[in-house]
Amino acid sequence: MQGSSSTQYWNRPAMIRILLLAVSCLASPFWAPAQEQTQSTSEQTPPIQFVVSIPAAPEEMQVYKLEPTRAPLEFLNEKLRSSKLPALKLEQKFYIARGESGKDERDRVRAFVDPVNGDLHFMPSFAELVRSEKLDKREEPTLLRRAQSVARSAFADERFIPRDATQLGIAEPITVRGGVTTHETREKMSGAAATFGEPRVVLTIVPAIRYVSGFRVYGRGSHAVVSLGNDGSIVGALRRWRTASPGERIRTRISAEEVREHIERQLRPAIASRGTRATVDKIAVAYYDGNAKYLQPVYYFEATVKPRAEHTSSIKIAGYIPIGKPLEPIPDLAAPPAGPKPEKPKRASLTSPPTNTIAEDPADISLGEYANQDWPNDGGYVSMSNSFLSGLTFLDSIFPGLTPPVTRTQWYVAYPWEVVGPSSKYFLNAVNVAYTVPHGDWLINTTLSNYGDTWYVPDIGTGGNPGFGAATGGVLATWIIMSCEVIPSMYDRQNEAGGTGNPYTAFDAWWPVFQGLHNVIGFRTIMFYPDDNLQFGFGLDASVGGDLNAAWFQEVAANDGDDGTYCSQHLIGPPLVHYDRASTMIDARDLGQSIYSVGPQTASTTLWNFWMDN
C-alpha cells in the first residue's frame, strides 16, 4: 500500500538522521575541525576522505523497464475545477489550462500535460497565494499534518500515480514563506519598527520519493509533488514518473575497492583547486531513472567539498556508479560535458560592446550563461548551463512555435566585470535572462573555481556601478543564480549569528540591483552540485509559461526536497537546515509572471522575498 510505505521509508530513518545530526551540531560545528587543525596536519590529510563504509549490493538485482504513464487528465481537471480554473484544452499536441490573471497568454498558463509521456506541471500562482488568508502561527502544525494527509491521498490516487512494481514514500512537507517591504518603508522606518509585510506561510509542498525494494530512486525521472494553499486545497502538482515493470536480472560483480576508485575518480575535478578537500559521507545502493526506458541499479554517493577560501561555503556533490553494464547513459562527474563550450569574452570598453548580444529575431528571448573559469577542469559548470538551456528549448525544438523561441546570445566564461561595473551593461544587462553558476555564499559568488575572482551583490548598483534593468538602460528581467546561499532570506537575517535580528535587512543589498529587474532566483542554503536534473526540469517548466517563481519552488522540492541536513555556520545555534532550500527576490509587480515577461519597468519600490523553511 502506498499510504503505509511513507511510514516504512521516511519516518523512522528521518527521525534517526535528524537526532544524530542534532547531536553532531551541538558537539562540533562542521567548520570547527578546519579551524583547529594545524597547517602540517592539514597538509597530511588526504584530499578525499571516506567517513562511511561501502555497503554490499545484493548478489543479483532487478532492472526495471519504464513505460510512459497515462496522462492524468481526469485527476488534473478535478483539481483545476476545485481551484476555479478552466479545464485542460488540447493545443497542438499538448494539453494546457490557462487562468484569467496575467499580462498575456504565457503568464496565464496554469497547467501543462504531455500526453505522450504523461508528464504534468500544475503551477500555483504566487500573485493569488499572497492574497490568501494569513495563518495564525498556532495553526501551522495543523497545516503540516493536513498537508501530509491530503498529499498521501493524492499520491494514492491511481489517476495520478499508478501502482506498479515500485513503492512510494512521502517526504516531510516544505513550507514556503513570503515577506514583503517597500523601499519607502525601509527608508522611513528604522530597526524593529520596519514591520511592513510580516513573513507568512504562502504554500506547502509535499514531495514523493520512489523506492524499489527499499532502495531509493534518483535521477531525472521519478519525481512528483503536491502543493497546497493555506486552505488545504491542492493548488499545484508536478509529475515526472514513468510506470515500472520487472525486466532482466543482473549479477552484481563490482567490488568495494572498485566503487571507491570510481568515487575518487569522479571527485578529482571538484578538488583540483589547491587546498580543496572532499569528504565522502554517504554511499548507498540505489536506482537511477533517466526518465527514459529503464530503472538501473547504481551506487549513489555524496561528498561535502570544502574550499580553501573561508568566504565561500562548502558544496554538496552527488554522483552515481553503475552496477552492471548500463542499458542507457548514467551521469559521470568526470565525463567531459556535452554540448557547446563557453567562449572567453573580451572585456568591453564603454565604446565597443560585444557584437552578438542581441537575438537575430527581436521577438526571441535572449539568454546569457556564464560558466566558472574552472570549467575545463570541472565540467559541471558547463553541463548545468547546457541542461538549463536544453530544458528551456526542448519543446520548441520538437514542435516549433509551441513555446516562444529562446536564443542563447551570450555563452561566456565568467568574470566579475560581467556582473559588477560599467562593463555589465554589455553582459548581464544586455540579455533578458542571465544564468550564473557556482560557487557562492551570502551575497557573493566566485568566478574562478571556489576561491577567486569574486563578485559581491552589495557592489551592484552602488559606488557608481549600475544595477540591472530598464532604469539603467538594460534589458535584464530574470537573474538565475545557481550557487549556494547567495540569497539569504528574511528568516536567515533574523537568526543571523552576530546580526541585528532584523529580518528586513535581507532586502537591503537588493534595492540597488532591482533597477527594472523583475526577479532573482536561487538558494538560501548549500545546494547539491552539479544538479543537471534540476536545471533541465526547471528550464522545461519555465518554457511552458506560467508563474516562474512557482515553477522554481516546485521543481526544487521535487528534485531536492529530501536531500538531508547540515549545521548552518551563519545562524544562531547553529541549527539544522536542509540542503537545497530555495530563495527568491521578486518585484511585487511581477508576481505570477512567466520567464517571457521581459518588458521594461522602473526601479523597484516593493520587493517580495519567498523562501523554503528549514
* pLDDT number for residue 314: 87
Chain segment 426-439, per-residue pLDDT in tens: 999 999 999 999 88
Alpha-carbon distance 118 to 160, whole Å? 10
Q: Burial, 100: exposed, middle or buried (Cβ in 10 Å; 0-12, 13-18, 19+)?
A: exposed
Residue 129 is predicted with a pLDDT of: 94
pLDDT, the chain, mean = 89
Cα(579)–Cα(581) distance, rounded to whole angstroms? 6
Q: How confident is the model at residue 146 (pLDDT cuts 50, 70, 90)?
A: very high
Give the three-class secondary structure for 13. Answer: helix
| Dihedrals phi, psi of 97, to nearest 5 degrees | -120, 135
**pLDDT of res. 185:** 52
190's CB contacts (< 8 A; 6+ apart) are: none
Q: Which three cell numbers stand for residue 533?
A: 536534473
Distances (CA, A) of 392 to 39, 56, 239, 537, 582: 46, 40, 18, 9, 20
Q: Are 487 and 441 in contact (CB under 8 A)?
A: no
pLDDT at 190 (0 to 100): 46
Could you give the CA distance from residue 272 to residue 344 in angstroms, rounded to a whole number? Answer: 21
- Mean pLDDT of the region 286-301: 98
Report the pLDDT value the prediction gives residue 348, as an integer from 0 to 100: 64
pLDDT at 358 over 60: no
Does the pLDDT of residue 4 top 70, yes or no?
A: no
- Evaluate if residue 158 carries a pLDDT over 50: yes
According to the model, what pLDDT value does residue 5 have?
Answer: 36
Structure confidence at residue 209 (pLDDT): 98
What tens digit of pLDDT does each residue of 113-124 get? 999 999 999 999
Structure confidence at residue 196 (pLDDT):
60
Name the one residue in this structure whose C-alpha cell is 533597477: 515
The 3-state DSSP class for residue 435 equals: strand
Structural element, H or E, at residue 167? strand 167-170
Question: What's the whole-number mean pLDDT along residues 39-48?
Answer: 62
- Phi and psi, residue 528, nearest 5°: -80, 140
Output 129 or 354, whichever has higher pLDDT.
Answer: 129
Q: Which pLDDT score is estimated for 191?
A: 43
pLDDT band at 360 (very low <50, low <70, confident <90, very high): very low
Residue 1's pLDDT is 35
The pLDDT > 90 percentage for the chain reads 77
Give 468-507 pLDDT, tens digit per residue.
999 999 999 999 999 999 999 999 999 999 999 999 999 9
- Per-residue pLDDT of 6-43, as tens digits, reads 333 334 344 444 444 444 454 333 333 333 343 444 45
552-580 confidence digits (pLDDT tens): 999 999 999 999 999 998 999 999 999 99
* The one-letter amino acid at 276: T
Question: How far, in Å, CA of 199 to CA of 223, rounded?
Answer: 29
Provide the pLDDT confidence category of residue 349 given band limits of 50, 70 and 90. low
> Is 337's pLDDT higher than 50?
yes
User: According to the model, what pLDDT value does residue 399 have?
Assistant: 87
The pLDDT assigned to 312 comes to 77
Tens of pLDDT, residue by residue over 301-313, are 999 999 876 777 8
For each of the domains in the chain, give its residue range(s) and CATH number, in order of start: 365-612 (3.40.50)
Buried b / exposed e along 187-216 (16+ C-beta atoms within 10 A): eeeeeeebebbebbbbbbbbbbbbbbeebb
Q: Where residue 197 falls among pLDDT bands split at 50, 70, 90?
A: low
Report in angstroms the alpha-carbon separations of 189 from 185, 489, 503.
Answer: 6, 20, 13
Alpha-carbon gap, residue 162 to 393, rounded angstroms: 29
DSSP structure string for 64-115: EEEEPPPP-HHHHHHHHHHTT-PPPEEETTEEEEE-S-SSSTTTTEEEEE-T
* Banded model confidence at residue 363, pLDDT cuts 50, 70, 90: low
286 pLDDT more than 90: yes
Q: What is the pLDDT of residue 541?
A: 97
Write down the pLDDT at residue 558: 98
- CA angle 308/309/310 to nearest 5° reads 110
Task: Give residues with Cβ within 8 angstroms of 559, minimum separation 6.
Answer: 223, 531, 533, 534, 537, 580
> What b/e string do you get for 369-407 counting C-beta neighbours within 10 Å, with b at 16 or more?
bbbbbbbeebbbbbbbbbbbbbbbbebeeeeeebbeebb
- pLDDT score, position 46: 83
Nine-digit cell string for 117: 509521456
